[in-house]
């Protein structure tokens, strides 16, 4: 669901030097490494995490999960506190679940409470009916919590990707809150309003 490829312009990565300059210039308590691209493609991302954690800054990384297996050692060695896996639909989730096994088994072997694992699910028309099943699959897979977020398409760069209506969102949130009680599972819903969404 990353819109980066549709925006054009130069492609690059944040450097370690720039990261340290930014971190040292402000009083951060929490740093989330994600955005317009896949953070695990940045060869310095785990050094950034180590630097932040050494300063007592809580770190989070959001990834599509495709490169997680070859980075298991880095995840634990860096001190990363939270890792979220961005998933857009059930098919993607089913492909991802086997990839998370190595992470979960290493976490169990180390007896580590970190990183806390999240499934970050995008709410949009194509995924709408699948979301309850995706939440159940996340719980079964040993993920710690689920985050639901609205489609981030503020530049309207992909007209084929559609928002859900307000009524559909309200029905979904009601069903998810019931599921949360039944499963005794952490599920985070988006705030009431973030910005005016098109197609409502």
Three-state SS across the chain? CCCHHHCCCCCCCCCHHHHHHHHHHCCCCEEEECCCCCHHHCCCHHHHHHHHHHCCCEEEEEECCCCCHHHHHHHHHHCCCEEEEEECCHHHHHHHHHHHHHHHHHHHHHCCCCCEEEEEEEECCCCHHHHHHHHHHHHHCCCCEEEEEECCCCCCCCCCCCCCCHHHHHHHHHHHHHHHHHHCCEEECCCCCCCCCCCC
- pLDDT bin (cut points 50, 70, 90) of residue 153 is low
Quick: pLDDT tens for 3-23: 666 666 777 889 999 999 999
Instruction: Mean pLDDT check: name the lowest of 23-37, 39-53, 134-148, 185-199.
Output: 185-199
Per-chain mean pLDDT for the chain: 87
Q: Can you identify the CATH homologous superfamily of domain 15-188?
A: Aldolase class I (3.20.20.70)
Position 155 scores a pLDDT of 61
Domain ranges of the chain: 15-188
């Amino acid at each position: 669901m990353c819109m980066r490829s549709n925006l054009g312009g130069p492609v690059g990565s944040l450097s370690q030097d720039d990261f340290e300059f930014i971190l040292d210039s402000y009083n951060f308590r929490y740093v989330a490494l994600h955005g317009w691209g896949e953070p695990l493609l940045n060869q310095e991302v785990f050094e950034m995490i180590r630097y932040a954690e050494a300063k007592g800054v809580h770190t989070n990384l959001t990834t599509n999960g495709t490169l997680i297996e070859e980075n298991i050692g880095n995840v634990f060695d860096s001190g990363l506190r939270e890792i979220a896996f961005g998933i857009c639909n059930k098919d993607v989730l089913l492909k991802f679940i086997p990839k998370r096994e190595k992470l979960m088994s290493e976490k169990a072997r180390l007896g580590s409470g970190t990183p806390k694992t999240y499934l970050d699910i995008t709410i949009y028309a194509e995924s709408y009916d699948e979301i309850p099943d995706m939440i159940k699959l996340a719980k079964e897979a040993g993920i710690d919590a689920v985050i639901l977020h609205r489609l981030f398409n503020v530049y309207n760069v992909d007209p084929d990707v559609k928002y859900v209506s307000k009524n559909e969102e309200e029905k979904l949130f009601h069903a998810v809150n019931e599921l949360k009680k039944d499963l005794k599972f952490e599920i985070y819903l988006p705030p009431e309003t973030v910005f005016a969404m098109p197609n409502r």
